[in-house]
Amino acid sequence: MATPPIFSYEVTTKDVEGLPDARGNSIKAMLASNYGVEVGTVRVILGYQVRAEMTNEDAQRTVFDLFADPVIEEGCVNETLLDNKMIFPIAPQIAITTGFKPGVTDNAAQAGLDGLLTIFPSISERAEVATSRSYLFWGVPEEISSEWLASKLHNRMIERAIIANSIDCKAGNWPSLDFPDRPALQQQKPAIVNLEVSDEKLIEISQNGLLALNLGEMQAIQAHYRNKKVRIARGTRGLVPNAPTDVELECLAQTWSEHCSHKIFAAKIHHVDTETGEDCSIDSLFKTHIMTPTLDIQSKVDWLLSIFHDNSGVIAWNDDWSLCMKAETHNSPSALDPFGGAMTGIVGVNRDILGTGLGARPIANTDVFCFGPPNYSGPIPEGLFHPSRVFRGVHAGVRAGGNESGIPTINGAIIFDERYLGKPLVYCGTVGLMPRRLPDGRESHIKTPTPGDIVYMVGGRVGSDGIHGATFSSLELTEESPSSAVQIGDPITQKKMIDMVLEARDLGLIQVITDNGAGGLSSSVGEMAELTGGADLDLSVVPLKQAGLSAWEILVSESQERMTIGVSAADCEAFEKLADLHEVEATAVGIFTDSGSFIVRFGEQTVADLPISFLYDGCPQLQLESEWAPPVHEPILFPQANADEMGEILCKLMARPNVASKEWWVRSYDHEVIAQSVIKPFCGVNHDAPGDAAVIAPIQGQTQGAVISNGIAPRYSDIDTYAMAAASIDEALRNAVCVGVDLDLIAGLDNFCWPDSVESAKTPDGRYKLAQLVRANRALDEVCRAYNLPCISGKDSMKNDAILDGKKISVPPTLLFSLIGNHSDVRKAVSSDFKNVGDHIYLLGETHQELGASELAFMFRDDSGGQSGIGGAVPEIDTARNLSMYRSLTAAMGAGLVASAHDCSDGGLATTVAECCFGCDSGSIIDISSITSDCSRIDAWGALFGESLGRILVSVKTIDCAAFEAAMKGHACYALGRVEADDQITFNNGDDAVLSASMADLRLAWKGTLDGGAN
C-alpha cells in the first residue's frame, strides 16, 4: 500500500498593529539575556507536516479550521510563507528550521493529529503529524554565525536543524525538514547470556550492557543459575536451565539498580572517625537512621498511615482526608535535555502520588533546582550546556509539566554553585490528597490485590525512549551517555489518565496501582507481584509506539505516562469502558498470581522466570568503607567597612543568585489552580516579597490547611555535612513555623543527592564522601527525633558526578528536606511581609558568631579570587531550644499577636530585614546591640550576616507588644526596632551606625540578577 501524501502547513502571526510576534520577541530577548547578543527582528513560523489520506480541499479547509487562527494568524498548506511578499516583503538574513528527531515525543503533533481526527474521523488509519519551527532573523550582528544561532535554538540530542544562511536566503532557498520517519526496527529474539565466564568477563557483560551491576551482584546472579532447584524449575518452563535470558538479566539489573534498590543506603558500612577515634559498623543507614526513628515516632502517634513501602508516605490529615507526599530527582536526564528531563521529572512524581494506596489526587508541586551559576564565564565541557540554558530549559519543562497537568507549583528554591555544572539537581515533589475511605468502604491507603486480578497497563504506549534510565542514572555522566535515556513528557495524556484513574478509584474498580517509572513494567509489575506472590505477564500484547521492540526492551522501557493497575476480573468491563470514555488506552497485559515467580512471556514463549524472593532479596549487601577527617579551610578575610560600605556589601549580597529574587521564574508557574492557595510564593503590598512555607486549603470552603516547605543548605557540606543536614531540616521547619504550622502534625521527606561515595579508582576520596553521608544521616536521625518529625518518604540519587574532558565534577553533598504539616485554621496564617509602619520588629532565637560557609563567606571568596576562605564555625543546632521557641511562637500566632514572621537564613539578619521591608514598601531602623551583648564573641558581621539556626524575624503591632513579649518569655527574643516609612534601612549597634542602605537600591539589586527577560 502506498504511503499517504504529506501536506505541509505553515502558520505565522499576522502583521497587525498592536499584535507583536511574541514568539519571535521571546527568542530575541532570550539571546540578549543568555548571551548578550542583540539581533534586530526575529519572526517564527510554525510548521506542521501531515501525512494522511486527505483531498486537497480537505487540506485547504483545515488551514483555518485547525492549524491557524483565522483572526490573528497567516496560514497556508503546501506553499511557503517566506515566498509570499505580502507577508515577508524583505527576505530574512538567516532562517533556521528545527524539528524533533524521529521517535522523540512531539506533543504538539499529537494534538494536531487529535484535532485532525475531530474533523475527519475516518482518516485515523495511518495518519501522522510532525511539527517544526522556523526562526527568521533580520539584523544579525556580523560576528554571529547561523551555526551559532542554530546551536542555541535546538538540542542536537533530540532535535534536527536545517540552516539557510544569507546566501541561501538571498536565493530563496528556504530550509525544510524531511518527515521524521523512524527506520523499521528488527525485533531481536530473546538471547541467552552465558554467565559461566571469568570475573573479568562478568564485569564486561555488565558494562557493555549498561547494567550497572558490580562483580558481587553478577556473581550472585551466576550462583542463582547454578542452583539445582532453579535449573529444574526452568527446565519445566521451557527456559534454558543454566543461564539467564537477556530479559531476566535486564529485569534484575533494573530491580537491583542503585536507583531502585538504594544499595548504598542499605550497605554495611565500616565507619572511622579520625577526629574522635570512633570505629564502628553501621548495618544500613536507611534502617538505622531513617526507618527506626520514624517507626519509633509512629508508635507514639495515630496519624502515620503508610510509610516507606508505597510510592509516597501517607498521613491522616483529618477524619475524612489523608495527605501524601513524595519528592524525586531527575538529574541525569535534565543534564542532557533540560526541558524533557525536568518535565518527565515532574509528571513522574505526579504518578507516584497517583500510584499511592488506591490512588491519590496530586494537588501541589514543589520544585527545587541546583544549577551552576547563571553568570558562569568559565569553560563549558563538551556535551554540557551553559547553566543559564539548563536553568531555562528545566524551568520551562517543569512549567509545562505542572501547568498543563493542572497542579499548582506552590513552593521551591533555586540554588547555585559551580559544582552543579556537571550535573544539575532537579528535585520535583508532589503532594496528594485522598479520601480516607472509598465509597465501597475500603481504606484508600491500603492496596488490596488478590491473585487472579488482571494486570492493566494504562495511559501511554511503550517505545524505545527511556530504555536504561534507571541503570543510566546509577552511572556517572559521560560524553557517551545514551540519548535513549532522555524523554519528553506528555502532560495531556497523563492528565486524561489521572482523570480516569481517580474516577475508577471512586467506582471501586482499582485493587492495586503503581506507576511505571524507573525500570518500566519490570519494576511496576514486579513490585506488585511481591504483594500477591507472583505475576504472569505477556509482552506481546503491550501497545507499542513503534513495532519491533525486543522483549527486554518492552519490559524495561521507561516510556512515560503509564500506570499499572490490578483490576478484579469482574470489574474489567467497566474499567475498560471508563478508559474508552476518557480516551485513555488500557490494555490487559497479565494476571497477578501466587506462584512465587514473576513469569514473563512473549506470546507462547516464556522469556523470563524470576523467583520473587530472588528478585527482591537476592541482591548482596554492599560492604563499604567510611572515614571522617574534618576538612581544613582558610579563614574569611573581613574588609574594613563603614556603614555605607556595609550597605554596599548588603546590596551585593542581595544580588547574589542564591539570595536574589526568583520572581520572574516563579510567576510563570501556576501556583493557584485548584483555588486553595492561602500563603502564596509572593506576598506584600506589591506581591513581590518572598514567602516562606506555602499554605493551602485544599477542600474549597473549609479552613483547615496544609503547610508545605523545603530546606536545603548544601554550602555547609564543605565544612560538615552534619551541619548541612541539620540546617536543611531546621530551615524547612522554620519556614513552616513562620506561617503557623500545627507542630503536632508534621512529617518530612529526605532527598539525598550525593556524589559517588564508593571508594574506587574513579573515586579515590570515596571514604570521605561516605563519611559525609554517615554524618548527614546522623543529623537527620537526631534532629527529626527531637522535632518529632518523622520521615515518611525519601529518595537518594547517589551518582551525581560528571566525567567530562577527563575531569570529574562532583556535586556538593546535598540534602533536600521537604516538610508537610497541618494548619488548624488558615485564617490565622501569617505572611512574611512587614504590615504597617510603626510595627515593632523582633528577632527570635539566638545569634552566634557562625559565618563558616555562609553566603557572605562565599561572596568574599568569589570576590577575592579565593584569597578569602570560607572557614569558621558552621551553625550548630539546639533542637530543644528551637522547638520550645517555635511552640511559643505558634501559640502567639494563634492568639493573633504576630503581624509577620520570616525565616532568617541565607545572608542572615540583614537580608531578612530587607526582604520583610520589600513587602511593606518601607524601611526600618534596627539596633543590634541587644544581640551582640547577649552572646559572647559576636561582632557586627556575625550579627548581620551570620546564619545561626532557630531564628525567625517577626513584627508585632504596638498594641500587641506586651502580650507578645509575655508569650515569648523564657526564649531569646530581641526587640530590634521598628518599621519606618522612608526608603532607608539602617542597622545600629547602640549609638554607632553599622550599616545603611537605600531600599530602592537593594530592591534593584535583588530583582536585577535573575530577571529572565524572555522565555
Partner 1 sequence: MVDTPRVAVLSGFGINCETETMAVFEMAGAKAERVHVNRLVNGEVRLNDYHIMAVPGGFSFGDHLGSGRLMGNRLRFGLREQVREFVKSGKPVIGICNGFQVLVKMGLLPGDEEVSLTQTASLALNDSGHYENRWATLEFDSNSPCIWTQGMTRMRVPVRHGEGKFVTGDRTLLDEWAKSGQLVVRYVNPNSDYPSASDNILPYPISPNQSWRNIAGVCDQTGLVFGLMPHPEANHSTWLGATWTREEIEHGEGEGMAIFRNAVNYVKNSL
Q: Which residues make Cβ contacts (< 8 Å) with residue 814, sequence separation at least 6?
A: 370, 415, 425, 712, 714, 717, 752, 753, 754, 800
Residue 414 or 697 with smaller CB distance to partner 1: 697
Question: Under rule CB under 8 A, which residues in 684-713 are in contact with partner 1?
Answer: 684-685, 687, 697, 700-701, 703
Q: Give the one residue of 40, 70, 631, 635 binding partner 1; rule: CB under 8 A.
A: 70
Binding region for partner 1 (CB under 8 A) out of 52-60, 338-346, 679-687, 745-753? 679-687
Q: Give the one residue of 12, 34, 676, 868 binding partner 1; rule: CB under 8 A.
A: 676
Question: Under rule CB under 8 A, which residues in 450-509 are in contact with partner 1?
Answer: 491-492, 495-496, 499
Does residue 108 touch partner 1 according to CB under 8 A? yes
Q: Give the one residue of 2, 71, 90, 167 binding partner 1; rule: CB under 8 A.
A: 71
Minimum Å distance from CB 676 to partner 1?
Answer: 8
Minimum Å distance from CB 933 to partner 1?
Answer: 33
Residue 506 or 939 with smaller CB distance to partner 1: 506
Binding region for partner 1 (CB under 8 A) out of 69-77, 264-272, 552-560, 751-759? 69-77
Does residue 426 touch partner 1 according to CB under 8 A? no
How crowded is residue 922: how many other Cβ atoms within 10 Å of its Cβ? 25
Task: Report DSSP state, residue 752.
Answer: E
Regarding beta strands 623-628 and 268-273, do their DSSP bridges make them parallel or antiparallel, or are they unpaired? parallel
* Complete DSSP assignment for 791-831: EEEEEEE---EEEETTEEEEPPPEEEEEEEEEES-GGG---
* Complete DSSP assignment for 377-412: -S---TT---HHHHHHHHHHHHHHHHHHHT--EEEE
Does residue 1000 touch partner 1 according to CB under 8 A? no
Asked if residues 844 and 734 have their Cβ atoms less than 8 Å apart, the reply is no
Q: Give the one residue of 354, 488, 679, 851 binding partner 1; rule: CB under 8 A.
A: 679
Beta strands in 883-1014 (DSSP E): 900-903, 923-927, 952-956, 973-980, 984-989, 992-998
Binding region for partner 1 (CB under 8 A) out of 64-72, 343-351, 613-621, 956-964? 64-72
Instruction: State the number of CA atoms in the 13 A half-sphere of 800 facing the CB.
Output: 27
Does residue 581 touch partner 1 according to CB under 8 A? yes
Minimum Å distance from CB 887 to partner 1?
Answer: 22
Binding region for partner 1 (CB under 8 A) out of 507-515, 585-593, 664-672, 753-761? 664-672
- Burial of residue 966 (number of CB atoms within 10 Å: 0-12, 13-18, 19+): exposed
Does residue 672 touch partner 1 according to CB under 8 A? yes
Task: Report DSSP state, residue 288.
Answer: I
Residue 763 or 832 with smaller CB distance to partner 1: 832
Phi, psi of 638 (to 5 degrees): -85, 130
Minimum Å distance from CB 408 to partner 1?
Answer: 9
Phi, psi of 888 (to 5 degrees): -65, -40
Asked if residues 873 and 947 have their Cβ atoms less than 8 Å apart, the reply is no
Residue 673 or 935 with smaller CB distance to partner 1: 673
Minimum Å distance from CB 899 to partner 1?
Answer: 9
Specify which residues 456 forms β-bridges with.
565, 588
> Cell 551553559 sits at which residue?
386
Residues 830-869: x where in contact with partner 1 by CB under 8 A, - otherwise, as a string: xx-x-x----------------------------------
Residue 422 or 919 with smaller CB distance to partner 1: 919
> For residues 473 and 466, what is the distance between their CA atoms, to the nearest angstrom?
11
> For residues 777 and 813, what is the distance between their CA atoms, to the nearest angstrom?
12
Q: Which of 665, 708, 680 is nearest to 919 (CA)?
A: 680
Binding region for partner 1 (CB under 8 A) out of 327-335, 519-527, 556-564, 580-588? 580-588
How crowded is residue 688: how many other Cβ atoms within 10 Å of its Cβ? 18
Minimum Å distance from CB 563 to partner 1?
Answer: 18
Question: Under rule CB under 8 A, which residues in 186-205 are in contact with partner 1?
Answer: none
Binding region for partner 1 (CB under 8 A) out of 18-26, 423-431, 437-445, 997-1005? 18-26
Q: Give the one residue of 13, 93, 206, 322 binding partner 1; rule: CB under 8 A.
A: 13
Q: Give the one residue of 447, 505, 601, 671 binding partner 1; rule: CB under 8 A.
A: 671
Residue 397 or 491 with smaller CB distance to partner 1: 491
Residues 112-151: x where in contact with partner 1 by CB under 8 A, - otherwise, as a string: x-xx--xx--------------------------------
Minimum Å distance from CB 42 to partner 1?
Answer: 11
> For residues 96 and 105, what is the distance between their CA atoms, to the nearest angstrom?
21
Residue 118 or 613 with smaller CB distance to partner 1: 118
Binding region for partner 1 (CB under 8 A) out of 68-76, 167-175, 279-287, 617-625? 68-76
The torsion defined by the Cα of 571, 577, 580 and 586, in degrees rounded to 10, comes to: 20
Instruction: State the number of CA atoms in the 13 A half-sphere of 776 facing the CB.
Output: 33
3-state class of 929 per DSSP? helix
Does residue 107 touch partner 1 according to CB under 8 A? yes
Total chain residues near partner 1 (CB under 8 A): 72
Task: State which H helix or E strand residue 931 sits in.
Answer: helix 929-934
Asked if residues 223 and 195 have their Cβ atoms less than 8 Å apart, the reply is no
Q: Residue 151 has which C-alpha cell? A: 546551536
Three-state secondary structure string covering 541-556: HCCECCCCCCHHHHHH
> For residues 119 and 534, what is the distance between their CA atoms, to the nearest angstrom?
46
Minimum Å distance from CB 306 to partner 1?
Answer: 24
> Cell 537580608 sits at which residue?
911
Question: Under rule CB under 8 A, which residues in 773-832 are in contact with partner 1?
Answer: 826-827, 829-831
Residue 107 or 884 with smaller CB distance to partner 1: 107
Q: Please compute Rg for the chain using Cα positions.
A: 29
Q: Give the one residue of 4, 209, 406, 451 binding partner 1; rule: CB under 8 A.
A: 406
Q: Give the one residue of 5, 6, 15, 26 binding partner 1; rule: CB under 8 A.
A: 26
Minimum Å distance from CB 444 to partner 1?
Answer: 17
Asked if residues 562 and 458 have their Cβ atoms less than 8 Å apart, the reply is yes
Question: Under rule CB under 8 A, which residues in 935-974 are in contact with partner 1?
Answer: none
> For residues 383 and 475, what is the distance between their CA atoms, to the nearest angstrom?
16
Residue 296 or 1011 with smaller CB distance to partner 1: 1011
Minimum Å distance from CB 671 to partner 1?
Answer: 6
Minimum Å distance from CB 392 to partner 1?
Answer: 11
Q: Give the one residue of 94, 230, 325, 683 binding partner 1; rule: CB under 8 A.
A: 683
> For residues 802 and 755, what is the distance between their CA atoms, to the nearest angstrom?
9
Does residue 168 touch partner 1 according to CB under 8 A? no
